[in-house]
Amino acid sequence: MGSHQAEVEADKLKVIFLPFLSTSHIIPIVDIGRLFAMHGVDVTIITTPVAASIFQNSIDRDTNRGHSIRTHIIKFPASQVGLPEGVETFNADTPPGMIAKISQGLSMLKEEMEQLFEDLEADCIVTDMFYPWTADAAAKLGIPRLLFLGGSYLAHSAQHSVKNYMPHKEIGLDTEKFNLPGLPHKLEMTPLQLPDWLRAPTGYTYLMEMIRDSEKKSYGSLFDSFYELEGTYQEHYKKATGTKSWSLGPVFLWVNQDASDKAGRGNGKVEQEDKVQGWLEWLNFKPDNSVLYVSFGSMSKFPSSQLVEIAQALEESGHDFIWVIKKKDEGEEVSFLDEFEKRVKASNKGYLIWGWAPQLLILENKAIGGLVTHCGWNTIIESVNAGFPMATWPLFAEQFFNEKLVTDVLKIGVAVGAKEWRNWNDFGKEVVKKEEIGKAVALLMSSGEGADMRRRVRELSHAAKRAVQVGGSSQTNMLELVQELKELRLQRVNRKVTAIP
Ligand code: UDP
């Protein structure tokens, strides 16, 4: 390395990323890390082996592209907390009895992570919201901490509203509607649609309080959103919480430009490009905008009573569909699904993907016409970018709030009519009937209201692409953020220099 080059390298802004151990938190924060590296920042992602296996391929490709990015792997203390080797992430297959142990294992890594921030000489740390302790760790080192907040600005604004005004306390029935106070739009919900920890205090409420406190102590927050999508809520959130925040999305769009990046995203396995996948072959024979894509993200499973309703609704809808279903647990009675699969294969009406689907690639296909989604924020952003309207079926986390953005604010989706929030690892009591699913799907694919929604979402799809181009809203935010972090670094270095006697 020449001396000039060495100087440049030494001068690089060093940022450490710390993803949480669940797939849908890992995916966007790793993409943000890759985005920083694309902007000339030196990036290290600290994580455990199983989490790294989900995204290491993309990091290797970025390194080959000349970006300064790497993974720093720390061992997960599985045996110390009584877990089998390899169980260290939260997803749909995580056995319920192991969830608390994974959290315990993760908290045991705190000191090692904190030491790494210092040893790797970070100028800034970007950590998932689920690591509130990192705000103090950054303060000790005198460096800024940014937190990645998953979900929409609307969802976080709504949580803030419920916490401050407790509107659901004024309501007699759990199924009665109330307004979310103080928000830019009139948005109605019922107490049953609120996360349990917002309805009444639980252990999780305490964790969320810590997360909010840590946000106030941090330099600011990062969102995978873009101004043209929910700028009103971005402004509202910053004002209501008095915090700094940057929207950088859609982040996947910037950093997953080629087919290998798209194919491997979220499960680490790149589908063989020379082998045409079954789903692709199947889709290629379908007319444009004709196929429903039905998926409920990386965390949720349904009981067989609900699977029956979905299967019948899809079959009776008359539309072609791709349905992504989580693999069966051993001994589970879902033999009707095998029959269903044989039938829809024979009629050529449906294609089932068991386990993990290459969602980004599928959503690029012109044959897709709309989504049935659980309103996971990553999926909403991906669907908006692809220009597809949605039938919304929120289940857990902040998804009922995300639904409001899609159906009531942007009017690019229709609600299936889910009434009850549940935990991600819990089936809940509600079974949405096939008639309700059918009604939403019919409207979504219709030439009337469906076409209006499609027109609106297409405009947003164009806006998404503009947001990440030169001069676009997210691109401008990204440049300003990197510049600001560089200035903070300079101030810190100058302070050190002047402090030397
Ligand atoms: N995903 C995928 N294939 C699947 C399931 C999920 O590629 O079979 C990706 C999807 O594209 C999205 C993420 O995993 O980026 C799921 O995140 P989301 O916020 O939609 O839902 P969650 O998994 O948090 O419920």
Q: For 175-198, how does the pLDDT look when each residue is reduced to its tens digit (9 = 90+)?
A: 999 999 999 999 999 999 999 999
- Same domain assignment for residues 439 and 425: yes
Average pLDDT (237-252) is 98
Sign (positive or negative) of CA dihedral 179, 228, 59, 11: negative
382 CA → ligand 1 middle, Å: 9
- Same domain assignment for residues 293 and 440: yes
User: Is 124 among the domain residues?
Assistant: yes
The chain-wide mean pLDDT, for the chain, equals 93
- Total domains in the chain come to 2
- The residue type found at 18 is L
Per-residue model confidence as pLDDT tens digits over 320-359: 999 999 876 666 666 889 999 999 999 999 999 999 999 9
pLDDT of 5 > 80? The answer is: no
Please indicate whether residue 376, judged by its CB atom, sits closer than 6 Å to ligand 1. yes
Per-residue model confidence as pLDDT tens digits over 464-496: 999 999 999 999 999 999 999 999 999 999 888
- Which residue minimizes the CA distance to atom 24 of ligand 1? 24
- Same domain assignment for residues 480 and 448: no
- Same domain assignment for residues 246 and 278: no
Q: How confident is the model at residue 421 (pLDDT cuts 50, 70, 90)?
A: very high
Report in angstroms the alpha-carbon separations of 114 from 20, 102, 142, 149, 471: 15, 19, 13, 20, 36
CA distance 461 to 456: 9
Per-residue model confidence as pLDDT tens digits over 195-210: 999 999 999 999 999 9
What pLDDT is attached to residue 3?
Answer: 56
- Same domain assignment for residues 241 and 362: no
What pLDDT is attached to residue 2?
Answer: 54
Per-residue model confidence as pLDDT tens digits over 260-318: 889 888 887 665 544 568 999 999 999 999 999 999 999 988 999 999 999 999 999 99
CA distance 387 to 453: 10
User: Is 424 among the domain residues?
Assistant: yes
- Same domain assignment for residues 133 and 23: yes
User: Is 145 among the domain residues?
Assistant: yes
User: Is 1 among the domain residues?
Assistant: no
User: Is 57 among the domain residues?
Assistant: yes
| pTM of the entire predicted model | 0.95
Q: How many residues does the chain have?
A: 501
Could you tell me the two tokens for 388? 């597809």
Residue 42 annotated among the catalytic residues of the structure: no
Domain with 301 in it:
270-464
Q: How confident is the model at residue 232 (pLDDT cuts 50, 70, 90)?
A: very high
Could you tell me the two tokens for 390? 């949605």
- Same domain assignment for residues 87 and 150: yes
Per-residue model confidence as pLDDT tens digits over 39-76: 999 999 999 999 999 999 999 999 999 999 999 999 99
Per-residue model confidence as pLDDT tens digits over 115-152: 999 999 999 999 999 999 999 999 999 999 999 999 99
Could you tell me the two tokens for 483? 């510049």
User: Is 260 among the domain residues?
Assistant: no
Residue 224 annotated among the catalytic residues of the structure: no
What pLDDT is attached to residue 97?
Answer: 87
User: Is 186 among the domain residues?
Assistant: no
- Same domain assignment for residues 278 and 307: yes
What pLDDT is attached to residue 189?
Answer: 97
- Same domain assignment for residues 199 and 302: no
Higher pLDDT, 319 or 333: 319
Contact 258, 286 (CB under 8 A): no
- Which residue minimizes the CA distance to atom 18 of ligand 1? 376
- Same domain assignment for residues 364 and 246: no
- Same domain assignment for residues 124 and 35: yes
- The residue type found at 196 is D
Q: Which residue has the tokens 């989504």?
A: 371
- Same domain assignment for residues 235 and 366: no
User: Is 188 among the domain residues?
Assistant: no
Select from 262, 359, 421, 422 the residue to mutate for testing ligand 1; criterion: most ligand atoms less than 8 Å from CB: 359
Q: Report which of 379, 405, 253 is spatially closest to residue 324, judged by C-alpha positions.
A: 379
pLDDT of 1 > 90? The answer is: no
Q: Report which of 385, 376, 478 is spatially closest to residue 32, judged by C-alpha positions.
A: 478
143, exposed or middle or buried, with CB in 10 Å at 0-12, 13-18, 19+? buried
Q: What is the CATH number of the domain that holds 337?
A: 3.40.50.2000
Contact 81, 104 (CB under 8 A): yes
Q: Which residue has the tokens 């082996």?
A: 49
pLDDT of 380 > 90? The answer is: yes
Per-residue model confidence as pLDDT tens digits over 86-98: 999 888 888 888 9
Q: Give the other-Cβ count within 10 Å of 279's Cβ.
A: 19
pLDDT of 164 > 50? The answer is: yes
- Which residue minimizes the CA distance to atom 25 of ligand 1? 297
Sign (positive or negative) of CA dihedral 303, 309, 315, 320: negative
